[in-house]
Structure 1
Amino acid sequence: MTLLEAKGLTRHFGGIRAVDGVDLTLRRGEIHALIGPNGAGKTTLVSILSGRIAPQSGVIRFEGEDITALPAHRRVTRGVAYTFQITSIYPRLSVFDNVALALRDSRDLARDVPLALARTGLEGFADETAGELSYGHQRLLELTMGLALRPKLLILDEPTQGLANEDIAGFKALVRSLVPETTVLLIEHNMEVVMDLADRITVLNFGRSLATGTPAEIRANPEVQAAYLGGDHAEA
């Protein structure tokens, strides 16, 4: 069953066609990865999906409703959460207060914040200053803030960037635990993570959708091999 459907999304910056007529369908309860060479348009596309950037053309439907004109904060209330490529926490506040800000509409922060922290293993860091956490724990805190919103769709923009190998295994286990209650759209440069986690993969190249399929189908696609997998690209 479809959760989100985007048709003909376009966004140009001057003469650069960052997103050029992209279609994307996300199914309920799947982990869907978005990959492609640097500059392929991945972050621009998810910024459009989350409402941070408006498309110049195209339509986005979420649970059957047209949300194309909704701003980001209204999409959050509909169930769309987006964690950023660069960690976006409140570094001077405590871990508890960071999550409390994400849960500001909660009627019981004393209950809901510890529950959210426990989900990502940060319950022992509630009183720590967020900016003093290790980089890996800061990324987990950002993920906790997104999950605290109980999103129907969680967009993760390069979540393993900067993580140590031992942290990546824990991240993969956490993402798997989110489905089927949450659909995950994952932008990720680590192809091992992508192939291990994703149910389906969409490949972008020069702002256009090159292919969508299972990991096996994407590996076997000659166009994808020529444009991305077969080259020396280190990042998605």
Structure 2
Amino acid sequence: MAAMIEAKGLTRCFGGLRAVDGVDFTLESGEIHGLIGPNGAGKTTFVSLLSGRVPVQSGTIRLQGEDITQLPAHQRVRKGVAYTFQITSVYPRLSVFDNVALASQSHSAGNVAEGVAEALAKVGLTGLEQAIAGTLSYGHQRLLEVAMGLALKPLVLILDEPTQGLASGEIDGFKTLIRSLVPNTTILLIEHNMDVVMDLAHRITVLNFGQVLAIGTPTQIRQNRAVQEAYLGGDDAAG
């Protein structure tokens, strides 16, 4: 069976900077995969390549065996790759319902109201359908963003720093939510909160200077001396 996502030799340069430098990466179906690394390691650029927000300069990306390297972002969404951004990307003047409905309509000709209700129920926002998105707490806006991603019925949900700004109680709820999504949805989690990554991820990929430093289980990553020196033992960093 083909991996959910398989990337080979991905490279992306900005001027003289090799932000992503020959990265090989496999995302197995139904897993929660953590992506970590120091500030400037290339994490956000890498997931932007996977989602189609930034074009690949060399290398290939396959989704369940299908080559999607040249597909633009909106076509990858239709294929099942949803990416929620590092900063909340809700429409602040629209209602919670309308935010999720826009995502649902873009993906399916089915019953939009049912799709919205299902997505909001999964993230615990049932009852807030008519609230204006911009008036929600920061934590609720992050959950709304996840609901918008889920309304796309994705095969893969890429979450970029989803717990940034959340209170500890909200983080516990977020972890419960993510666990409830697998194995039906495969999760790629870019996260600077090591407790969250180590608690949730089945496997972790560590990037450093645009290259893969290590891949392994949370236990293997914790014990990896190169990772300790480059990241875990150093300054806490995101990006």
TM-score surpassing 0.5? yes
8 A Cα contact 1:106 1:112, kept in partner: no
Comparing 222-231 and 82-91, the one that deviates more:
222-231
Letter in structure 1 aligned against 2:6: E
Give 1:231 shift.
1.4
Comparing 221-230 and 67-76, the one that deviates more:
221-230
Report the counterpart of residue 20 of structure 1 in structure 2.
21
Report the counterpart of residue 180 of structure 2 in structure 1.
177
8 A Cα contact 1:154 1:183, kept in partner: yes
Report the counterpart of residue 8 of structure 2 in structure 1.
7
Report the counterpart of residue 37 of structure 2 in structure 1.
36
Once the two structures are superposed, what CA deviation does each residue of 1:136-162 show, in whole Å capped at 9, x if it has no partner?
000000000001111110000000000
| Aligned equivalent of 1:128, options 131, 134, 138 | 131
Once the two structures are superposed, what CA deviation does each residue of 1:81-108 show, in whole Å capped at 9, x if it has no partner?
0000000011100000000000113331
Which 5+ residue runs of structure 2 have no aligned equivalent?
none
Report the counterpart of residue 111 of structure 2 in structure 1.
108
Report the counterpart of residue 204 of structure 1 in structure 2.
207
8 A Cα contact 2:101 2:113, kept in partner: no
Report the counterpart of residue 166 of structure 1 in structure 2.
169
Q: Secondary structure at the match of 2:54?
A: coil
Letter in structure 1 aligned against 2:216: G
Give 1:233 shift.
2.6
Letter in structure 2 aligned against 1:99: V
Runs of 4+ deviating beyond 2 Å: 232-236
Give 1:198 shift.
0.3
CA distance in 2 between counterparts of 1:75 and 1:26 reads 16
Give 1:234 shift.
4.1
Which 5+ residue runs of structure 1 have no aligned equivalent?
none
Which aligned pairs between 1:210-221 and structure 2 lie closer than 5 A? 210-221=213-224
CA distance in 1 between counterparts of 2:130 and 2:176 reads 25
Report the counterpart of residue 78 of structure 1 in structure 2.
79
CA distance in 2 between counterparts of 1:168 and 1:223 reads 28
Comparing 226-235 and 93-102, the one that deviates more:
226-235
Once the two structures are superposed, what CA deviation does each residue of 1:10-45 show, in whole Å capped at 9, x if it has no partner?
000001110000010000000000000000000000
Report the counterpart of residue 137 of structure 1 in structure 2.
140
Report the counterpart of residue 62 of structure 1 in structure 2.
63
Confirm whether residue 187 of structure 1 aligns to residue 223 of structure 2: no
Give 1:123 shift.
1.0
8 A Cα contact 1:5 1:61, kept in partner: yes
CA distance in 2 between counterparts of 1:50 and 1:94 reads 26
Once the two structures are superposed, what CA deviation does each residue of 1:61-91 show, in whole Å capped at 9, x if it has no partner?
1110100000011001111000000000111
CA distance in 1 between counterparts of 2:160 and 2:113 reads 29
Q: Secondary structure at the match of 2:127?
A: helix
CA distance in 1 between counterparts of 2:119 and 2:228 reads 40
8 A Cα contact 1:130 1:138, kept in partner: yes
Give 1:232 shift.
2.5
Matched residues, number: 236
8 A Cα contact 2:19 2:210, kept in partner: yes
- Identity among equivalent positions (%) equals 71
Report the counterpart of residue 228 of structure 1 in structure 2.
231
Report the counterpart of residue 88 of structure 1 in structure 2.
89
CA distance in 2 between counterparts of 1:157 and 1:234 reads 14
Once the two structures are superposed, what CA deviation does each residue of 1:109-153 show, in whole Å capped at 9, x if it has no partner?
222211211111111110000011000000000000001111110
